[in-house]
Homo-oligomer: A and B are copies of this chain.
Amino acid sequence: MNKSELKVLGVLERVGGFASAQEVYQLLQRGNQSIGLTTVYRALQSLLDDKVVDTLRRDDGEAIYRLCGENHHHHLVCKSCGTTIEIQANAIEKWAQQMASDHGFREVGHTAEIFGICKKC
């Protein structure tokens, strides 16, 4: 675990959720922790290999990362105004585990998002 990886980890901690490589890079630039974009990618790859972070893809295909083992939540998003509400969902966690083990999957993760039009809109 070298210096760059620690900086990237620091950002992911502060963010407390998902961030893309580009976002991590931007955030480091804003602070006085600037490291090169290439190094950000390398650090993320290395953290992935060490299973310290977790990765997903946004709808647009951009990869996003977060610290493993953070308790995660889901989102309820308004399609119109963008308001986002965090929701906990034990039901979902259990469902994902159950489905995965039914089919012999391991190292399981999941995503779930609800979207609609909120009261105000």
Interface: A78 (CB within 8 A) = yes
Q: Contacts A111-B112, A111-B113: A99 and B89 contacting too (C-beta < 8 A)?
A: yes
28 A-B residue pairings within 8 Å (CB atoms): A57-B57, A61-B62, A61-B63, A76-B99, A76-B105, A79-B107, A87-B99, A89-B95, A91-B95, A92-B112, A100-B114, A100-B116, A103-B118, A103-B119, A104-B118, A105-B116, A105-B117, A105-B118, A106-B116, A106-B117, A107-B116, A108-B114, A108-B115, A108-B116, A109-B115, A110-B114, A110-B115, A111-B113
Interface: A96 (CB within 8 A) = yes
- State the copy count for this chain: 2
Residues of A within 8 A of B (CB-CB), count:
33
Give Cα A61 to B62, complex, Å: 7
| Chain B proximity of A97: nearest CB distance (Å) | 9
Interface: A6 (CB within 8 A) = no
Which of B103, B106, B110 contacts A113, CB < 8 Å?
B110
- Contact (Cβ within 8 A) B92 A105: no
